[in-house]
Amino acid sequence: MKLIAGVDIGNSTTEVALAEIDKDNVTRFISSSITETTGTKGTVQNVKGVITGLNKALDNVGKSLVDIDHIRINEAAPVIGDTAMETITETIITESTMIGHNPDTPGGEGLGIGTTISLEDLENNIVEDENYIVIVNSEIDFETAAKLINRYIDNITGAIVQRDEAVLIQNRIDKVIPIVDEVMYIDKIPTGMKSAVEVGPVGKTIKTLSNPYGIANIFSLTPEETRNIIPVAKSLVGNRSAVVIRTPKGDVKEKVIPAGSITIYGNSGERKVVDIDKGAEEIMNVVNSIENVRNIEGETGSNVGGMLNNMKSELSLTTGQSMRDIQIKDILAIDTFLPVTVKGALAGEVAMEKAVGIAAMVQAEKLPMEKIAVELENKLHINTVVAGVEAVMATLGAWTTPGCRLPLAILDLGGGSTDAALLDEKGKVTSTHLAGAGGFITMMIDSELGLNNISLAEDIKRYNLAKVESLFHMRLENGEILFFDEPLEPKLFGRVVVCRDDEFVPIESSHSMERIVEIRRNVKKEVFVNNAVRALKKIAPLGEIRNIPNVVMVGGSALDFEIPEMVMEELSNYNIVAGKGEIRRVEGPRNAVATGLVMSGVGVL
């Protein structure tokens, strides 16, 4: 009887499978484990994680390191994935033209048009029959403001207030006028200019200032000027309140930022250039039009160019190969909108800017896995070999899933890349690695919600959401209600929270639960459904997906609560049986490579 260990060192996790093999080559799997990978995949730092993983698996069955006869580690795919975001539009306000502002509690309602004037100056400068929009700075309290406004109420058509006191002022004046409050930089608002303030009725949004012709009507704009005002109107859509001020030189520009370009080189000498600001669809069309990508380069100075270079240098450090021998093999681009604070804004207004998220995958010749094997053997005095290519081992392991047959394809939905491999009836394995996986989803969620908090974005990706509706209950995203005996923390009250296993994490953004769920699901689909189809096309016999009868999903993202279902739904269109792996009937979608490593060792000892 021999004890054999298969060890799969991945980008984020290290997995172990332990099996006993008797003299008749009958294999019995007795234990497995999963731990975090220590250091970058393919470096000797991994040894620490491997030993932890081995001990964990051994502890389960009351054995120790000395009992192991043979260790087999994976010939890890030498790929690294990374992501970057390139914003391609920018909204700039010059001379404070617009306040696309949405305070929680504006006052009054309606549309007011008039000349801006500070409330203190009104007394000395008022012109009869003239209409005014008064500016109330934080030095004036609501009672004084209301008194002054009432004195000149016939001339005042609206108000812009610095403090959060719009309702308080409205309740104390004799006429209903639109009042916008919480305007942080109120001193920057120009006076003596024609302006319009609009507040929608409770539960409704503004109608006039979000319409380009509405603005044109108020300010008597020419067709050319109306064209220029579109970014203003666009950014006000959906608000309950807004202010638009027209200054002679004032301007709001939606500028396209030069985001650089990507050059794609094919194996048969093709060379295609695409501008990033053309958007994801165009980029992917160009990438997919080249069958065998040799290398991809990003323009220096752009975010994408910087990312591609960083990835190359990281892999070059790991493998000891020169930068020139390391190539970007694939990219995945997704269009998105990012909430970006408007330059020159007066109340922290945010505009949704167009952006393209890009994931890339870099590939080297080989990772120095031999070094890890030598190091392990020196440390543990156990015979250790690097056994077989990762993709082959993964298909071998996946084949233990009941109900599948050859040719069998696996989709490895990982953290850094989406990998696919096909094992045909003759035992031949074809494999591919594509950019874009779990890490890309996290980045897209983070930027689309404007969180600037990667670990929160990771939580949003991995767990369901709930809306805390009282101190004692919350509504889960599927509509169920969860009650509590003890009161929830006040910081959770009224918020959308992530339901982690151990705690509830509040999301401090104004997005509704439904919107966050929609963003999460869309990003998952864009990444993995797209990639599943792209990857299977590359490995399918004759490039036709329908030639693959069954697909087994493995890897960390196959554990996700909704990704496997999304992929399954898409692949059912091609008449493919697809589902999460059930490795050795007990491991779920985990442990495929480690299992394959053990299986490939049967008969070798």
Residues of the shown chain interacting with other proteins in the complex, contacts defined by CB under 8 A: 104-105, 142, 164-168, 171, 469-472, 487, 490-491, 493-495, 506, 508
Q: What is the dihedral of CA 38, 39, 44, 47, to 10 degrees?
A: 0
β partners of residue 523? none
String of DSSP letters for 360-410? EEEE-S---HHHHHHHHHHHH--EEEEEEEHHHHHHHHHTTSTT--SSEEE
- CA separation for the pair 9, 47 (Å, rounded): 9
Q: How far is the CB of 107 from other proteins (least distance, A)?
A: 9
β partners of residue 410? 421, 552
Query: Which residue's CB is nearer to other proteins, number 427 or number 494?
Result: 494
- CA separation for the pair 110, 160 (Å, rounded): 14
Strands annotated E in 424-570:
429-435, 465-470, 473-476, 481-483, 496-499, 504-507, 550-554
Q: What is the dihedral of CA 260, 261, 262, 264, to 10 degrees?
A: -160
CB atoms within 10 A of CB 130: 11
Query: Which residue's CB is nearer to other proteins, number 63 or number 495?
Result: 495
Query: Which residue's CB is nearer to other proteins, number 171 or number 289?
Result: 171
Query: Which residue's CB is nearer to other proteins, number 203 or number 223?
Result: 203
Query: Which residue's CB is nearer to other proteins, number 348 or number 543?
Result: 348
Q: How far is the CB of 101 from other proteins (least distance, A)?
A: 16
Residue 87: phi, psi to the nearest 5? -80, 135
Q: How far is the CB of 508 from other proteins (least distance, A)?
A: 8
Task: List the one residue out of 127, 191, 117, 128 whose CA is nearest residue 159.
Answer: 117
Query: Which residue's CB is nearer to other proteins, number 18 or number 488?
Result: 488
CB atoms within 10 A of CB 562: 14
- CA separation for the pair 127, 518 (Å, rounded): 53
What proportions of the chain, in percent to the nearest 5, are helix, strand and coil?
35, 30, 35
Query: Which residue's CB is nearer to other proteins, number 20 or number 182?
Result: 182
Q: How far is the CB of 495 from other proteins (least distance, A)?
A: 5
Q: How far is the CB of 134 from other proteins (least distance, A)?
A: 18
Query: Which residue's CB is nearer to other proteins, number 469 or number 518?
Result: 469
Query: Which residue's CB is nearer to other proteins, number 165 or number 448?
Result: 165
Q: How far is the CB of 163 from other proteins (least distance, A)?
A: 9
Q: How far is the CB of 159 from other proteins (least distance, A)?
A: 14
Q: How far is the CB of 162 from other proteins (least distance, A)?
A: 14
Task: List the one residue out of 262, 330, 393 whose CA is nearest residue 530.
Answer: 330
Query: Which residue's CB is nearer to other proteins, number 7 or number 173?
Result: 173
Q: In what order do the strands lie in the sheet with 179-180?
A: 98-99, 241-246, 194-199, 110-118, 132-136, 156-161, 179-180
Q: How far is the CB of 381 from other proteins (least distance, A)?
A: 58
Query: Which residue's CB is nearer to other proteins, number 427 or number 487?
Result: 487
* Rounded alpha-carbon distances, angstroms, from residue 261 to 4, 251, 293, 337, 508: 50, 29, 17, 19, 35
Cis peptide before 178 (omega within 30 of 0): no
- CA separation for the pair 135, 131 (Å, rounded): 13
Q: How far is the CB of 449 from other proteins (least distance, A)?
A: 16
In terms of Cβ atoms closer than 10 Å to its own Cβ (0-12, 13-18, 19+), residue 184 is middle
Q: How far is the CB of 188 from other proteins (least distance, A)?
A: 24
Query: Which residue's CB is nearer to other proteins, number 213 or number 493?
Result: 493
Task: List the one residue out of 340, 345, 338, 337 whose CA is nearest residue 100.
Answer: 345
Token pair for 601 = 């060792």
Q: How far is the CB of 178 from other proteins (least distance, A)?
A: 16
Residue positions counted in the chain:
605
Token pair for 513 = 């639960």
